[in-house]
Amino acid sequence: MDLGLSGARVAVTGASRGIGRAIARVFADEGADLAICARTPEPLAEAAGELEAAGARVFSRALDVTDHDALPSFVDDAAAELGGLDVLVSNVSGGSSPTPDQWERGFSTDLMPFVRLTEAAERHLRASERGGAVVLVSTTSALHATAPAGPRSYGAVKAALNHHASSLARAWAGRGVRVNTVSPGPIEFPGGGWERRRENDPEFYESIRGRIPYGRLGRPEEVARAVVFLASPAATFITGQNLVVDGAFLDRI
């Protein structure tokens, strides 16, 4: 299927590794140009080089999303470099440890970056001749309370983000901007949290893997393809939705 993304101008946060990097690569393979950011310069530069090798024009900036004042500048500079902005993908996470400060970290690393990014991107997305699109990368931990979610900040903060994204979808629909969410289940990749769990807590890892009817954890590219579809003109009448990508991990309708 031609997703109609050739020449699209796309910003992706957290794009140096894992799901974010896979998302940027699928966009590049579809012919889009990219603005990417991440906290650590070295893997970000490596990701930018990979995207350029795939034929994309790339604007990259190392920044920490907890520096909330830096996010509007990234969006505006990305739009200036790419000649506009058609798609924003918010892919950041503060992790899921149960320590008390994790609640403040989740607010600063997950919730407020999405708020600041969407505030800054709105005028650019409204000006898109293609029709603007926002995709929030969330998690199945926002949709259930059992392991690996539990009584900690990660799922609760992501649930708040899901609510805000759904509200934005309804507020922005008349402005020609779509907002959707993708909620991955457990996703494994080199250097990621589930690889560490497999090595350091194999009993817990196997307990989660055993609850996935598909028989394995997901892969970043499987999430990426869902994100890119929702951001593309192939999904022009889809907004306010939360697409779960989890191998049937969640037991719900």
The residues annotated as belonging to the active site are: 154
Point out which residues pair with 244 in neighbouring strands: 183
Which residues does 252 contact at the CB level (< 8 Å), separation at least 6?
143, 144
**Alpha helix (H) residue ranges in 83-136:** 101-106, 112-126
Q: Is 118 helix (H, G, I), strand (E, B) or coil?
A: helix
Which residues does 134 contact at the CB level (< 8 Å), separation at least 6?
87, 88, 89, 90, 118, 121, 125, 165, 168, 177, 178, 179, 180
Q: Is 190 helix (H, G, I), strand (E, B) or coil?
A: coil
CA–CA distance, 3 with 236 (Å, rounded to integer): 11
Q: How far is CA 171 from the centre of its chain?
A: 21
Q: How far is CA 110 from the centre of its chain?
A: 11
Point out which residues pair with 33 in neighbouring strands: 9
Angle, alpha carbons 17-36-57 (nearest 5°)? 115
